[in-house]
């Protein structure tokens, strides 16, 4: 056979290409598909959130606009061979309306790609008609406004490779059929409100590479044992309820580059085999319950760019494994009990953007080589035991935005000019160290500091409010507490950051007033105002001025010298959570202006000179937890309506002029949560009002393992999520022994009805107070026997029944109270032998004096001895009226735990209890989409 010449072959091939191209260009969409698209277009109206922009589909088929060929329309893709529509991409297309299963869209049966993300389909359900698109490879409905469960029709999409439904409201379980869709390569269901248990078999889909499920807090599940042939590249499960351990077989995921399990419920040890995933770029295990050592094998993960292990329960954690991961840009190791020093090997991480080591136990000095981290934007070293001075090299960190050094032992002098060149610095926190901060650029008008959003200079030995603040117009939080700032608040402060300031703390200083009176404080966005523990004497202009701060959440003016009356507005704030006027010289009545829907949780008017009645409108404060009205001149009967407050936990009416009989409650719903009660030093009479108290679940049900302290959080969002935290405190005094509870544990319970005119017997229902820790009924007119059912009060630590008219024996059953450490029945008419055993062996004589009929140890009178005992008491007390003697009683006090910190989570530095001891945690940004 004769061979063709090469030139002829080339001509033939060229002709073939031209012919093919001609055929392809000639392909147009089918008329039926064009009609289906136009019908689909007409089902939508303009999206009101698109600010007048028409939907993308509005241009389809417009005469004089796009052509009749739908293959050229925006967002439409056709096959070059057949002309069939194979792709629809209308992401962010301003579509508004609904799609049901009868939509003409589902007549496009050749579709392989359907992207409708970031539109608004008006909470319509995901249409089951999608199941007709059996050629579909990619389905993207993320952020599209659909709602409802994943329809079973999707199970018919046997060729589906990508299923992306993130940020739509599914609010149901992931159906089991997803585990049978063997073609799936990517499943993205983030922030969908998923519930139930995630089907574990999905992890074993043969082609699955990306499993993205974050921000589904009610989605439970656990990790399987992984197979050698797994294709997984990404596993993102942060902020879910996934639990259990990391399997040691995790090193079978040879292709894994990103593992994000943060803020979930994982536990156990981190297996050393994780160090075999040498291709890993991102590892996030923060905010779980991992324990044991941090595996040293992590040093082999040299490709890592992100590593977050913060807020776990690791043991013996050090930085010895850090240093070889020199590609790291983000390193978060806060709150994991790191000890030791900042090792020189950490200095190898010169690409760091974030170095987060707060809330640990690091010691030594801050090394100067941190100044070599040229890319660093965030440095968190707060809440450690670091000492020495702040390195001068910090002035080289030109990209630094956030510097948190608070709550350490740093010392020396800090000149504010060292931060002058750091133009990006917006958050600087130096509070709670031993530093002396100098405003050293005074008189240098051409030199300015960065514009701060947050500035914490608490306990920095300031004697005046720094003058550089006058030029700060972007401050959101200013912390100057615990200094020695004297004199008046300067008038220039009224023009500082008027539009931005949200938190102002000038507490624990020596401020005496305001330099220039104003009708209103200028910061209309102010959320927290703390001027407590100063010497502010005149209530003007502060008290009237607060009325215009409509966004206030926390107001603390306690421990000043303010006179005057409470403004009428105090009950009208729509957002106020914490109100503290404790320890001033305020007089007049409490305004009866508290509105329905009040958000008030903490109310303290104690230690003033307030008169009149308890305002009935306080019944509108349905979420109130703390009410302290003690040490005033209030004159009222028992405010029985307070019992309807469902969240009330602490009620203190001590040292007022309350009077009358406290009648039995009409229902069993009064005081359902009450845990701490103090009605002492009033004129209440009648029987003991124990039915009110025994109604409270707080006195009966308790968790003996709980260690959380009672507090109030107020959260804010700056660049991180922050929380101001107020702790509640109590003081107990008995027989000269005083115990301060600077933070009340959640399980703490106390009842003080002392120094009133209660009479009659102690009812047996006192035994129902199973959770009570302190009981004081002293200095009343109680009679009859001591109830043996008190033995049921198994947690009781302190019992004072002194100065009554009780008779009969001390029940021997009380020896079963194993925690009882303070016991006083002095000055009653008790008789018989004193119980022995357990805690009774440690009670001294003074607890029994004034009971001539008692006998046995520790008294000198032995049982059977008729000779009256000599008094062993060293106390000289008037035995006349109960109301003239020098009281020896339990005084349940209450002090607002001062604001102690900027934090996220429940960690508080235990060694420092002042207002300004602040800690911070990182909030990982929601950067989880593909």
pLDDT tens for 712-726 read 556 655 555 556 666
- Percentage above 70 pLDDT, the chain: 84
Which is nearest to 900 in space by CA: 714, 733, 643?
714
Q: How confident is the model at residue 22 (pLDDT cuts 50, 70, 90)?
A: very low
Better-predicted residue by pLDDT, 507 or 54: 507
Query: Residue 69: its pLDDT value, please?
Result: 87
- Distance (Å, whole) CA 764 – CA 721: 50
Phi, psi of 529 (to 5 degrees): -125, 115
Residue 234 tokens read as: 């990404």
Query: Residue 158: its pLDDT value, please?
Result: 96
Query: Does 470 have pLDDT greater than 60?
Result: yes
Query: Residue 439: its pLDDT value, please?
Result: 86
Query: Residue 545: its pLDDT value, please?
Result: 85
Which is nearest to 341 in space by CA: 290, 384, 379, 312?
384
Asked whether residue 796 is domain-assigned, the answer is yes
Query: Does 26 have pLDDT greater than 50?
Result: no
Query: Does 156 have pLDDT greater than 50?
Result: yes
Asked whether residue 455 is domain-assigned, the answer is no
The SS3 of residue 275 is helix
Q: Work out the average pLDDT over 784-792.
A: 94
Are residues 328 and 397 located together in one domain of the fold? yes
Are residues 717 and 839 located together in one domain of the fold? yes
Query: Residue 732: its pLDDT value, please?
Result: 56
CB atoms under 10 Å from CB of 856, counted, come to 18
Are residues 126 and 202 located together in one domain of the fold? no
Residue 753 tokens read as: 């009805």
Are residues 286 and 324 located together in one domain of the fold? no
The total of structural domains in the chain comes to 4
Upstream peptide bond of 541 is cis (omega within 30 degrees of 0): yes
Asked whether residue 496 is domain-assigned, the answer is no
- Alpha-helical runs (H) found in 734-774: none
Asked whether residue 498 is domain-assigned, the answer is no
Query: Does 776 have pLDDT greater than 50?
Result: yes
- Distance (Å, whole) CA 734 – CA 799: 10
Query: Residue 896: its pLDDT value, please?
Result: 31
Query: Does 924 have pLDDT greater than 50?
Result: no
Asked whether residue 492 is domain-assigned, the answer is no
- Tokens 């260009």: give the residue: 25
Are residues 759 and 668 located together in one domain of the fold? yes
- Distance (Å, whole) CA 887 – CA 306: 63
Query: Residue 299: its pLDDT value, please?
Result: 97
Asked whether residue 704 is domain-assigned, the answer is yes
Domain boundary among 167, 202, 221: 167
Asked whether residue 376 is domain-assigned, the answer is yes
| Rg of the Cα atoms in the chain | 36
Q: How confident is the model at residue 371 (pLDDT cuts 50, 70, 90)?
A: very high
- Percentage above 90 pLDDT, the chain: 67
Domain boundary among 375, 399, 427: 427
Query: Does 431 have pLDDT greater than 90?
Result: yes
Are residues 137 and 41 located together in one domain of the fold? yes
Among 228-242, 496-510, 697-711, name the one with the lowest average pLDDT.
697-711
The SS3 of residue 235 is strand
Q: Which residues contact 288 (CB under 8 A, 6 or more apart)?
A: 261, 262, 263, 264, 265, 266, 267, 311, 312
Q: Residue 757: beta bridge partners?
A: 685
Note whether 739 and 668 are within 8 A (CB): no
Q: What is the CATH number of the domain that holds 220?
A: 3.80.10.10
DSSP calls for 764-825: GGGGG-TT--EEE--SSEEEEPPPGGGGG-TT--EEE--SSEEEEPPPGGGGG-TT--EEE-
Are residues 321 and 301 located together in one domain of the fold? no
Query: Residue 771: its pLDDT value, please?
Result: 87
Q: In what order do the strands lie in the sheet with 829-833?
A: 659-661, 683-686, 757-760, 781-784, 805-808, 829-833, 853-855
pLDDT (tens digit per residue) in 67-125: 678 999 999 999 998 899 999 999 999 999 999 999 999 999 999 999 999 999 999 99
Secondary structure string (H, E, C) spanning 501-563? CCEEECCCCEEEEECCCCCCCCCCCCCEEECCCCCCCCCCCHHHHHHHCCCCCEEECCCCCCC
Query: Residue 474: its pLDDT value, please?
Result: 94
Are residues 755 and 804 located together in one domain of the fold? yes
Q: What is the largest CA-CA distance in the chain?
A: 146
Asked whether residue 754 is domain-assigned, the answer is yes
Are residues 302 and 321 located together in one domain of the fold? no
Are residues 680 and 822 located together in one domain of the fold? yes
Q: Work out the average pLDDT over 380-398.
A: 96
Query: Does 917 have pLDDT greater than 50?
Result: no
Query: Does 872 have pLDDT greater than 60?
Result: no
Query: Does 47 have pLDDT greater than 90?
Result: no
Query: Does 321 have pLDDT greater than 80?
Result: yes
Mean pLDDT of the chain: 85
Are residues 328 and 414 located together in one domain of the fold? yes
Q: Work out the average pLDDT over 422-450.
A: 86
Query: Residue 447: its pLDDT value, please?
Result: 72
Q: Work out the average pLDDT over 5-19.
A: 44
Query: Does 903 have pLDDT greater than 60?
Result: no
Query: Does 905 have pLDDT greater than 70?
Result: no
Q: How confident is the model at residue 873 (pLDDT cuts 50, 70, 90)?
A: very low
Q: What is the CATH number of the domain that holds 805?
A: 3.80.10
Query: Residue 164: its pLDDT value, please?
Result: 98
Q: Work out the average pLDDT over 706-717.
A: 56
pLDDT (tens digit per residue) in 253-295: 999 999 999 999 999 999 999 999 999 999 999 999 999 999 9
Detail the DSSP E strand segments found in 595-710.
602-604, 609-612, 626-628, 633-634, 650-652, 659-661, 676-678, 683-686
Query: Does 693 have pLDDT greater than 80?
Result: yes
Query: Residue 699: its pLDDT value, please?
Result: 79
Domain boundary among 795, 823, 855: 855
Kindly list the distances between the CA atom of residue 493 and the CA atoms of 149, 449, 467, in Å, as whole numbers in the listed order.
55, 17, 9
Query: Residue 54: its pLDDT value, please?
Result: 86
Query: Does 238 have pLDDT greater than 90?
Result: yes
CB atoms under 10 Å from CB of 229, counted, come to 9
Domain hosting 75: range is 29-167
pLDDT (tens digit per residue) in 625-679: 989 999 999 999 999 999 889 999 889 999 999 999 998 887 767 788 888 899 9
Q: Work out the average pLDDT over 422-449.
A: 86
Q: Residue 843: beta bridge partners?
A: none
Residue 749 tokens read as: 């319970």
Are residues 72 and 152 located together in one domain of the fold? yes
């Amino acid at each position: 056979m004769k061979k063709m010449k090469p030139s002829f072959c080339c001509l033939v091939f060229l002709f073939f290409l031209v012919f093919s191209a001609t055929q392809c260009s000639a392909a147009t969409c089918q008329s039926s598909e064009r009609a289906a698209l136009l019908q689909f277009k007409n089902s939508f109206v303009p999206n009101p959130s698109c600010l007048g922009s028409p939907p993308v589909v509005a241009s389809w088929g417009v005469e004089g606009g796009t052509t009749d060929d739908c293959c050229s329309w925006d967002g439409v893709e056709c096959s070059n061979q057949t002309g069939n529509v194979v792709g629809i991409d209308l992401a962010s297309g301003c579509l508004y309306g609904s799609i049901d299963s009868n939509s003409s869209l589902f007549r496009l049966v050749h579709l392989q790609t359907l992207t409708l993300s970031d539109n608004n389909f008006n909470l319509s359900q995901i249409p089951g008609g999608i199941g007709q698109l059996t050629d579909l490879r990619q389905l993207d409905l993320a952020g599209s406004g659909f709602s409802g469960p994943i329809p079973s029709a999707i199970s018919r999409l046997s060729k589906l490779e990508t299923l992306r439904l993130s940020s739509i409201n599914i609010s149901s379980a992931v159906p089991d059929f997803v585990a049978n869709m063997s073609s799936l390569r990517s499943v993205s269901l983030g922030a969908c409100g998923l519930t139930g248990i995630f089907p574990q078999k999905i992890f074993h889909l043969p082609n699955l590479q990306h499993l993205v499920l974050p921000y589904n807090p009610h989605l439970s599940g656990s990790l399987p044992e992984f197979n050698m042939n797994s294709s997984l590249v990404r596993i993102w499960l942060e902020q879910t309820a996934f639990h259990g351990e990391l399997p040691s077989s995790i090193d079978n995921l040879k292709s894994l580059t990103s593992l994000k399990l943060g803020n979930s419920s994982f536990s156990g040890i981190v297996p050393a085999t994780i160090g075999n995933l040498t291709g890993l770029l991102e590892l996030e295990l923060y905010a779980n319950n991992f324990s044991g050592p941090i595996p040293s094998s992590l040093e082999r993960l040299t490709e890592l760019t992100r590593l977050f292990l913060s807020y776990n329960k690791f043991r013996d954690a050090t930085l010895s494994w850090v240093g070889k991961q020199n590609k790291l840009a983000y390193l978060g190791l806060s709150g994991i009990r790191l000890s030791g020093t900042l090792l020189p090997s950490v200095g190898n991480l010169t690409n760091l953007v974030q170095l987060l080591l707060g809330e640990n136990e690091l010691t030594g000095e801050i090394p100067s080589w941190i100044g070599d981290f040229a890319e660093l934007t965030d440095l968190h070293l707060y809440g450690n035991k670091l000492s020495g001075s702040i390195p001068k090299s910090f002035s080289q960190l030109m990209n630094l935005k956030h510097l948190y050094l608070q709550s350490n032992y740093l010392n020396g002098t800090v000149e504010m000019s060292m931060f002058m060149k750091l133009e990006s610095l917006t958050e600087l926190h130096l509070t709670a160290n031993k530093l002396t901060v100098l405003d050293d650029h005074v008189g240098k008008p051409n030199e300015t500091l960065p514009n701060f959003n947050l500035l914490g200079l608490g306990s920095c030995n300031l004697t005046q409010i720094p003058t550089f603040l006058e030029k700060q117009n972007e401050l959101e939080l200013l912390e100057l507490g615990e200094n020695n700032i004297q004199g008046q608040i300067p008038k220039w402060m009224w023009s500082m950051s008027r539009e931005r300031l949200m938190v102002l703390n000038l507490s624990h200083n020596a401020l005496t007033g305001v330099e220039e009176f104003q009708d209103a404080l200028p910061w209309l966005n102010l959320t927290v105002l703390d001027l407590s523990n100063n010497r502010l004497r005149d209530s003007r202009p502060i008290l009237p001025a607060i009325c215009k701060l409509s966004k206030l959440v926390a107001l603390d003016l306690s421990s000043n010298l303010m006179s005057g009356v409470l403004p009428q507005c105090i009950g009208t704030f729509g957002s106020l959570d914490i109100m503290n006027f404790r320890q001033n010289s305020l007089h007049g009545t409490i305004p009866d202006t508290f509105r329905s829907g009040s958000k008030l949780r903490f109310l303290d008017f104690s230690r003033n000179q307030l008169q009149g009645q308890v305002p009935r409108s306080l019944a509108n404060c349905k979420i109130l937890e703390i009410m302290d009205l003690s040490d005033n001149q209030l004159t009222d009967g028992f405010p029985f309506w307070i019992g309807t407050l469902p969240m009330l936990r602490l009620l203190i009416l001590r040292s007022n002029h309350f009077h009358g009989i406290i009648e039995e409650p009409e229902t069993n719903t009064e005081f359902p949560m009450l845990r701490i009660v103090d009605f002492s030093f009033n004129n209440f009479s009648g029987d003991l009002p124990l039915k009110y108290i025994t109604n409270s679940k707080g006195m009966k049900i308790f968790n003996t393992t709980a260690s959380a302290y009672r507090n109030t959080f107020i959260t804010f969002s700056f660049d991180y999520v922050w929380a101001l935290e107020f702790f509640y405190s109590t003081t107990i005094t008995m027989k000269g022994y005083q115990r301060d509870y600077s933070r009340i544990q959640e399980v703490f319970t106390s009842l003080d009805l002392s120094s009133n005119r209660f009479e009659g017997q102690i009812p047996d229902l006192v035994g129902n107070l199973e959770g009570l820790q302190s009981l004081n009924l002293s200095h009343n007119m109680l009679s009859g026997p001591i109830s043996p059912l008190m033995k049921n009060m198994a947690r009781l630590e302190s019992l004072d029944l002194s100065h009554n008219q009780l008779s009969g024996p001390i029940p021997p059953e009380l020896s079963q109270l194993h925690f009882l450490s303070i016991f006083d029945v002095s000055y009653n008419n008790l008789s018989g032998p004193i119980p022995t055993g357990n805690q009774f062996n440690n009670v001294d004589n003074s607890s029994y004096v004034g009971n001539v009929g008692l006998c046995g140890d520790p008294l000198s009178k032995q049982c059977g001895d008729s000779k009256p005992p000599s008094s062993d008491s060293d106390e000289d007390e008037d035995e006349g009226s109960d109301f003239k003697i020098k009281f020896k009683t339990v005084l349940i006090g209450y002090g607002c735990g001062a604001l102690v910190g900027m934090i996220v989570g429940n960690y508080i530095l235990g060694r420092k209890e002042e207002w300004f001891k602040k800690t911070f945690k990182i909030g990982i940004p929601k950067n989880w989409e593909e």
